[in-house]
Amino acid sequence: MYLTSRDCVRRLDPTRRPEDCIDMLRFINSGQYTRYLIGTAATSDDNPANATFKRGFVCPHSAFTPHAHGTEHFVLSIGYASCGLHDYERTIVAHIRLIPGSLLHIPAMMPHSFNNRADTLLPMIIANTGMGIDHDDYAITTAMAEERARNGDDAAARLTTALRQLEAGTSSHPVHTSMSLRERLAGMLRRLAGSLEGGT
């Protein structure tokens, strides 16, 4: 992916050049990066925008800490990823294998995890309504939910239980561990097709 302006064309990839990381923000966990294209990290009711749109990167064979967002999210995975989603109604965790081009709609306050199953950097496109990563409700982790529950927030107590179940379910489920042989072959063919298309 490239970022274009009147003055330059820049590749958005924190692994290519160290200076690319200068404009990147920490994305939920250390070692994961994001760059806002619309909106800012400070987007909130006090600093409004109709939506934010950013590029995110997940390091090889790593995952975000399970969390819930205070607003709905749309996530486009450009690589081989997986997602664990907590179903409140049935009190189960749904495990979803994602291939390049998969688009997820994650409703507000749905506990989820997001994992990179590949040995390469995972690029993502993330859009959400009116909330930047600096907002207190952007990514509510188990520790944050527990603290709120101790202060008498009943909804946070329910969220804590769901996030703990999500953590236990995604740590051992095979969907989140690695790519299948067929996916590896498809990935090689995709890279070959890209080099053929770009070699003209």
Q: Which two tokens stand for residue 145?
A: 């939910």
> What does the pLDDT read at residue 40?
72
In the chain the domains, ranked by start, together with CATH numbers, are 2-198 (2.60.120.10)
- pTM for this one? 0.78
Phi-psi region of 58 (alpha: psi -120 to 50; beta: other; left: phi over 0): beta
pLDDT at 37: 73
List, in sequence order, the alpha helices (H) in 103-153. Answer: 142-150
Burial label, 199 (beta-carbon count in 10 A; 0-12, 13-18, 19+): exposed
Q: Chain-centre distance of CA 83, in angstroms? A: 9
Task: Check: CB of residue 51 under 8 Å from CB of residue 74.
Answer: no
CB under 8 Å to 54, separation ≥6 — which residues? Answer: 34, 35, 36, 37, 38, 39, 125, 126, 127
- Alpha helix positions (H), 48-132: none
At residue 115, what are phi and psi to the nearest 5 degrees?
-125, 145
Q: What is the pLDDT along the chain (200 residues), one digit of tens a residue?
A: 666 666 767 666 666 666 666 667 667 766 777 776 776 777 777 766 667 888 888 888 988 889 999 989 999 999 999 999 998 888 899 999 999 999 999 999 999 999 999 998 888 888 888 788 888 898 899 999 999 999 999 999 999 999 999 998 887 788 888 899 999 999 899 889 888 887 65
Give the count of beta carbons closer than 10 Å to the beta carbon of residue 194.
Answer: 10
What pLDDT is attached to residue 12?
A: 67
pLDDT at res. 49: 65
- What are the pLDDT digits (tens) for 36-66? 677 677 777 776 666 788 888 888 898 888 9
CB neighbour burial string for 3-16, b if at least 16 within 10 angstroms, e if fewer:
eeeeeeeeebbbee
- Tally Cβ neighbours within 10 Å of residue 141: 20
What is the predicted pLDDT for the residue at 197? Answer: 85
What is the reported pLDDT for 135?
86
